[in-house]
Amino acid sequence: MMTRSMLQIMLEFAAVVQVPESDVAQGKATPGLVEASGAALNGPPLRVLVAGAPPRDAFVVAQYDGRWFWIAATDIQSKYTFGIIMLLFSIADTGVKGSTPVVTIPANQ
């Protein structure tokens, strides 16, 4: 069985983020996927919206490069998907590894 890395998973989700037209025109980003009709559960599994002003009702929000990116509080599918992503990140987090024990051998005896 082959699995995807967290990077591959994040790249898949990045494809459905709304990308401002100005960023595409300036070559800062490529256009995201157009919302697919007839997709499972009424659209992509994760909808990340973008605007120039902070959203009023957001489940999670991030400001980047003068824009606000968020998941709407009313988007149950995206909230569920975001929760799964956070769970995968917590599983993938290996934490700080402890140092190996040092063995000392007395040499003057």
Q: How confident is the model over 11-28, as a mean pLDDT?
A: 84
Q: How confident is the model over 7-13, as a mean pLDDT?
A: 83
Q: How confident is the model over 59-87, as a mean pLDDT?
A: 91
Q: Is the pTM of this model over 0.75?
A: no
Tokens 């499972």 belong to which residue? 40
> Cα 50 to chain center, whole Å?
14
- The answer to whether the CB of 24 falls within 8 A of the CB of 107 is no
pLDDT score recorded for residue 38: 42
